[in-house]
Amino acid sequence: MDIDWISGLNFSIQFPVRPEGLILLGIYLLTTLLILFMLRHSIFAMRRREWLIFFALGALTLVLSIILPLRFAAPDFQPVPNLPQDTAVPAAPLFAALPLLLAALWLGMGPAVLLSAFSALIQAGLQSGQITQRYEVIAFGLVASFFIAQYYRGKLAAILRRPVIASLCGSLVAWAMMLPSFFVYTPGRPLEALNYAWPLYLAAFLPILTQGLLSGLLVEIINARWPHWRRRQIATQDPVWSRTLGRQLLVPFIAFTLLVMVLLLTVVSAVALRQATAQAIAQMSRDAQTASSDIEDFLRSGQNLLTTIATEPLLQTGTAQTQSTSLSAVMRQEPYFEQLLLFAVNGQLASYAPLDQRPAPTLEEQTLVQRTLQTGAPQRSEVFAMNQQAYLTFVVPIGEGQGALLGRANLQLNPAAQRLSDTLQQTLGAGVGYIVDNNQRIVIHPQADQVLQNWPLNPTLQSGESINGGTVYNDRFPDGTPRLLFVQLGQGSSWTTAIELPRISVLELALQISAPLLALLFLILIFASLGILVLTRAITRPIQELSDAAENITHGRLDQPIVIERDDEVGRLAQSFEQMRLSLKARVDDLSLLLHVSQTVSASLDIEQGVPPLLDGVRQATPARVARLITLNENGEPRDLFSRGEGPTELTQLDRVMVKLTAPSEQPILIDNVAKARSRAMLDPNMIGPGLKAVAAFPVRRQTRPIAVLWLGYAGLHVFVESEVNVLATIAGQAAVLLENARLYEASEGGRRQLAAVLTSTNDAVIVTDPHNRVLLCNPAAEQAFELPAGSAIDQIIDDAWAEPSVARLFPAGGSTETRTEEILLGDGRTLYGSASAIINSDGEVLGRVAVMRDITHLKELDAMKSEFVATVSHDLRAPLTYMRGYATMLPMVGPLSPKQQDYTEKVMAGIEQMTELIDDLLDLGRIEAGVGLVREICSLGDIARSVVETMKPQALSRGLMLRTGKLSERMIPGDQGLLRHATANLVENAIKYTPTDGTITVSVEEQDSAMVIAVKDTGIGIAAADQVRLFERFYRVKRRETVDIKGSGLGLAIVKSIAQWHRGRVWVESQLGEGATFYILIPFGEMSEATTVR
């Protein structure tokens, strides 16, 4: 393993050297563009924050794609054939996949694939330079981002969403795509290129897998630390492989088949390669053994031939001329030797052949000749070079010490040597064999330029199998092409036989061996796939038909029969579905009929119009010949008759008998055969007549009292099934509803007429609205009071029909349930007192509001007179009270008072103070109502509330209460600051009086629509709803056990109301018993120009 700090920074791109590479590059490019186009929505949908993350990850990609490249050594790296360059070891940047996984986790598939394309371009330009080889980065980004972003349900899908698992899957796919890239960048024949690419492909596995594993683990840690950064995913779909039964069968089969095919391809290829290698080695071994044995024969035959020539008599007794002629004749007969030299006893050259070439013996030859003359033993020289040819010299004695004969054999021209060389050639059609002597020189080779070249055996070669004394080596030609080298030591000689066989020949032989088997496996795969496809369709087609039938049933298409003629489980299931369809169709028909009858009953409140369709429905549900409905009076006697079908239109004796039988019974009367009715003591068949064979009668009841009888007559015998009886009983129930609705309608219509008469005759104005304040009822008194045309206010919004704001305030929006009261001043000077309440159903839902307005003009006049009288009396009482207070305070000056006198004096003073306070309140109330001495100026309710709280806080603390301010709006409004302070103080004082110890009182001022609202909230005893109606009346005080000891005049809240009304506002309270109360004063904003002084 090797890790560098940084890759090279020279950017370069190389195109494939094979034509197939251009096609592969085009496919990769088009596929990438298509994928990016399909994912464009997820790219363009990114917001500003996501774009910032994307560009940050892009910068990180640029850095991590060039640092820490990881390499693993391969066991069999080979140089590129015919190229002198070294092999480039595949490398993978250790953390280059990290930003791609983060983009898939945080941004989605589109940005992740786009970032993968950028990373692929960077790695291709700065590392390998091979553009197709980096497309596995895009494949990694596509697969990993798909697994991370997929939203399939199931455990497998959840596991695949884990970043480390998705990263490993992407790494495997990326590694699988690297083999074509290595192949298209290797020149030579396809098998040679594949043989070179394969070890590179294997060497890339560990770097790619390590890169994916480390990056996936880092992303897992990041995701666990910041899980909120991950895009929200909800598993909403089933995986594509499990959405249909066919896919559930095909996907595992295809996966299993592909796995088996890969295994078989691997095994067959390995076995074929092993067998081809064994055959090649065996052939080389046979050829080498043959040549090794022929080497000894070659040397022995040369020695024997020369010995035979030496026995010629002329060579011993003839002259030099005759000897040369004899030698030439021998050479023509036996062309083994290129030259023959005859030496005399003294070692001098005596004669030679051929005569045109005068040879000069070499020193070694002279030595051999002397040795032969001395010892009389034959000699053989080493192979030597002469005239750029390889020669071998044999020396034999002539006679007994009469001289020596030397023969030179040219190994390149010698026929026996040529035959020996031919024996070593064309092993598997491509082998090259040669012979090496004991000096490690090539002595016999089919290529002349290789003869006499040194041939040292490389000691680092990996030895293979040894066969018959020979050894196989994995070697390479000088151009880098791999080969097999077989070396066989000579048998009886020191020469060595060698055979070279290109590795490609072994691969071609392996391909020839495996091709038929692979083709057979491919055909088996095709036929097996077709078979499983046909089998799957045969299994799933009826199931799909059942699914379509179930969908038809789901959508109400019950008229399409299910026809699947099979005897297996699917066929039985189809029969069950068909029975279910028929049953459901009958049930739906019954329900449709009941729905139609119910709609008819609901749409009609008239018996004359509603009963005939009901009887028609009865005849539609059953094959009845006649259907009759007989209504009963209060005494249970027949009253009206409704009939459909054959039969008289007036009451008959049979109708009366059916009423007599059915009305007392709670269960229907079912007679499937009227001929047997007599034996059952139920009905006389003679009364029925020959036209009816079966009868069914159903009581129609209102609660427990019979109100009608429904009976049916059948022309033939009839078996009553449960579903039919249930339908008829339901129709009988609908008849009861129809009769009851008609009765209730008659009663309600009478009540409506009475109510209309009351509303028309009353002098009070009555207005009724719906939940949206749309007028539903406006009686003539209301129309006359507001001078409206008759019926003009109906269906109008309250605000549109009445211009008076006081009327609109009686009808608040939003479904309020509070009861509101208002005094409405009419244009003619009259005053109406209006009270509006919500109309609430049993579920608490507000259905509208009803308002009743009564003319209180006379009462207002009396109230004004009373107020004038009270003001006069109060004013006149001031002087007496002042005298009484003065004299009461002077009593102690006369002399000391006894304790009893002191007590009486204090009680008198308390009464005087109470009367003075009452008189002051009455005078203030009168002054406010008269508008005397009031000042309208710009003021701040927030400042007023803050001042009141600060002033009254000691009083609250003395009672153990917390008095505080809430939200205080600082908006300025026109108003009388003194009156507003007085009103706020009255509310706070009331809260202090009626709040127990440890309670809390909060004063707040807030804006609400076009007004300011002062709110005083306490945690006191609360106010009952019945008391809230009169709470703001003069002198009214709530009489409860908790309030007996609390002093007061009952005028404080009345003064608050008068102050609010003077400011064109209003006052109200929200409270429940035991939960405290909140008083509100609403003051409209008004115009700032209204700030004036009123005198």
- Cis check: omega of the bond before 378, within 30 degrees of 0: no
pTM check: above 0.75: no
Q: What is the DSSP letter of 813?
A: S
Both structure tokens of 41: 């929505």
Higher local confidence (pLDDT), 662 or 875 = 662
Q: Do 366 and 422 form a contact (C-beta atoms < 8 A)?
A: no
What is the chain's mean pLDDT, rounded? 79
CA distance 846 to 860: 33
Lowest model confidence (mean pLDDT) among 455-469, 548-562, 708-722, 846-860: 455-469
Per-residue confidence (pLDDT) for residue 1013, from 0 to 100: 93
Helix, strand, coil percentages in the chain from 3-state DSSP, rounded to 5: 50, 20, 30
Among residues 516, 514, 519, 518, the alpha carbon closest in space to that of 272 is found at: 514
CA distance 320 to 108: 104
pLDDT tens digits for range 560-581 = 777 776 666 667 777 777 777 7
CA distance 1004 to 1000: 13
Q: Do 944 and 984 form a contact (C-beta atoms < 8 A)?
A: yes
Give the CA count within 13 Å in the CB-facing half-sphere of 567: 0
3-state secondary structure of 68: coil
| Burial zone of 989 (CB within 10 Å; 0-12 exposed, 13-18 middle, 19+ buried) | middle
Pairing of strands 972-975, 937-940: antiparallel
Higher local confidence (pLDDT), 1017 or 299 = 1017
Both structure tokens of 489: 């030591």
Most confident of 10-14, 209-213, 525-529: 209-213
Give the CA count within 13 Å in the CB-facing half-sphere of 395: 25
Indicate if the pLDDT at residue 1094 is higher than 60. no
Among residues 409, 352, 404, the alpha carbon closest in space to that of 377 is found at: 404
pLDDT > 70 in the chain, percent: 84
Q: pLDDT band at 375, cuts 50/70/90?
A: confident
Q: What is the DSSP letter of 84?
A: -
CA distance 956 to 685: 96
Question: What sign results for the dihedral spanned by CA atoms 511, 517, 519, 521?
Answer: negative
Sequence-ordered list of residues with C-beta below 8 angstroms from that of 161, at least 6 positions apart, any chain = 147, 148, 150, 233
Place of tokens 């040894």: 466
Give the CA count within 13 Å in the CB-facing half-sphere of 10: 4
The backbone torsions φ and ψ at residue 641, rounded to the nearest 5 degrees and listed phi first, read -125, 135
Question: What sign results for the dihedral spanned by CA atoms 293, 299, 303, 308?
Answer: positive
Indicate if the pLDDT at residue 983 is higher than 60. yes
User: Cα 1083 to chain center, whole Å?
Assistant: 55
Quote the strand ranges of 894-1020, DSSP E: 934-935, 937-940, 962-968, 972-975, 1000-1008, 1011-1018
Q: Do 20 and 28 form a contact (C-beta atoms < 8 A)?
A: no
CA distance 487 to 435: 10
Give CA angle at 30 (26, 33), nearest 5°. Answer: 140
Long-range contacts of 768-773 (CB under 8 A, 24+ apart): 768/839, 768/848, 768/849, 768/850, 768/851, 769/798, 769/811, 769/848, 769/849, 769/850, 770/847, 770/848, 771/815, 771/846, 771/847, 771/848, 772/797, 773/797, 773/798, 773/799, 773/811, 773/813, 773/849
Number of Cβ within a 10 Å radius of residue 526: 10
Listing DSSP states for 189-246 in one string gives -HHHHHHHHHHHHHHTHHHHHHHHHHHHHHHHHHHHH-GGGSPP----B--GGGSSHH
Q: Domains of the chain, with CATH numbers?
A: 2-240 (1.10.1760.20), 244-557 (3.30.450.20), 586-747 (3.30.450.40), 762-855 (3.30.450.20), 932-1094 (3.30.565.10)
Among residues 877, 885, 886, the alpha carbon closest in space to that of 912 is found at: 885
CA distance 820 to 235: 54
Q: pLDDT band at 1079, cuts 50/70/90?
A: very high
Indicate if the pLDDT at residue 950 is higher than 90. yes
State mean pLDDT over 510-524. Answer: 79
| Burial zone of 895 (CB within 10 Å; 0-12 exposed, 13-18 middle, 19+ buried) | exposed
pLDDT tens digits for range 681-702 = 466 666 676 678 888 889 988 8
Lowest model confidence (mean pLDDT) among 250-254, 301-305, 626-630, 1068-1072: 250-254
Q: Do 1000 and 961 form a contact (C-beta atoms < 8 A)?
A: yes
Pairing of strands 1000-1008, 962-968: parallel
